[in-house]
Amino acid sequence: DGLVVEALDLLDVLIAPNAPDLAKRTERLMELLQMADAAAVRSLLGKVGNGSDESDLSKALRWRFSQANPRESFLLGLDDPPSSQLKDVLLWDFRGWANLDPSGALRWYAEAEERNLPLAKEEEMLIAVFAARARLDPKRAIEGFRQHFGVDAGSEAKLAIPRLVGSLRNQGERMGFMVALNRNTAEDSGDGSFRETVVSELSKALVKEPFDEVSLLVDGTFTAEERVKFARNLTQGGFLNPNTWPRWAPWIAALDLPAERGQPIDTMAVIVARNKKRFKDVQWLADLPAGPQRDLAVESYAMVSLESDLDEAIRWMDYLPAGERRKGVAANVARYLEMKDPAAAEALRSKEGVE
């Protein structure tokens, strides 16, 4: 009763943007709603009434309750008269509940399934259940998902897979899921589209996570082809963290891809050279193991650098061994140098053996 009385005094913040002490009182209301159960909020709704203003307040209260306590909001909605709008609200609340407490949400679902409740048969409910199971029992989640949608990833499965993979919250859950995926697809790979779609979606999240965790997962559970695709994800705009990139660069170099333009190590060298304010420390480039991967990265970095910093380009050219890459950089440096110091340009051409 005390909670209801205090909350009732704060409800004006939901519909009055100029309410006194708005931020402080809103924060306190949310704290109370986090502690409230469905019965308490039902009592609050009963005190609000059914006039037009009160109806707006009721809607605002229900929305805030859903944000603060999706489990109790879901249980509250189960007692409301059925409607298509209510069904959408219930599914939203169930997903929120499952995100916070997958075990509790799955227990409710098991009981609902036994009671043959219509809500338990909704497609969106099933997807939410698969997502919750992916965190706790990935083997069962993957088997159930493929049994429901088919072994291969059709159009409906491709829409649901981001939810399945997106539910995974930490390294342990992702590792468990990938181990289960490896076993499942080894037994029945189908046309390969299910695994391909899952790994692609997972990679989108992984590019933002810490190197140690992600490299362990990728090296331990991805195929060689999937590791190459992941490397491309790292360098195609999804992962441009100046603090972490120096650790990914040697990992990508170790993939020993063809030392050609457009390969991940080349792409990232170009991005770094064009964003020097963000990527101030490029020691990682010098620290790459000597060989074709480093030569490609150094050449690309030097070529872009000479457009804005000729001395920088010359410095990196010296990291290149004798050969076509070094000659190519030297020729371009000489062309830029020609404009301000023709004698130095000619000396460079003579030294490097370029025309």
DSSP 132-190: HHHHH-HHHHHHHHHHHH-SS--HHHHHHHHHHHHT--SHHHHHHHHHHHHHHHHH--T
On whether the CB atoms of residues 105 and 72 are closer than 8 A, the answer is no
Q: How many Å apart are CA 37 and CA 46, to the nearest integer?
A: 15
Q: What is the pLDDT along the chain (355 residues), one digit of tens a residue?
A: 789 999 999 999 998 888 889 999 999 999 999 999 999 999 999 988 654 445 888 999 999 999 999 999 999 999 998 888 899 999 999 999 999 999 999 999 999 999 999 999 999 999 999 999 999 999 999 999 999 999 999 999 999 999 999 999 999 999 999 999 999 999 999 999 999 999 999 998 888 888 999 999 999 999 999 999 999 888 775 456 667 788 899 999 999 999 999 999 999 899 889 888 888 888 889 999 999 999 999 999 999 999 888 999 999 999 999 999 999 999 999 999 998 899 999 999 999 998 7
List Cβ neighbours of 10 (8 Å cut-off, separation of 6 or more): 25, 26, 28, 29, 32
Q: How many Å apart are CA 74 and CA 93, to the nearest integer?
A: 5
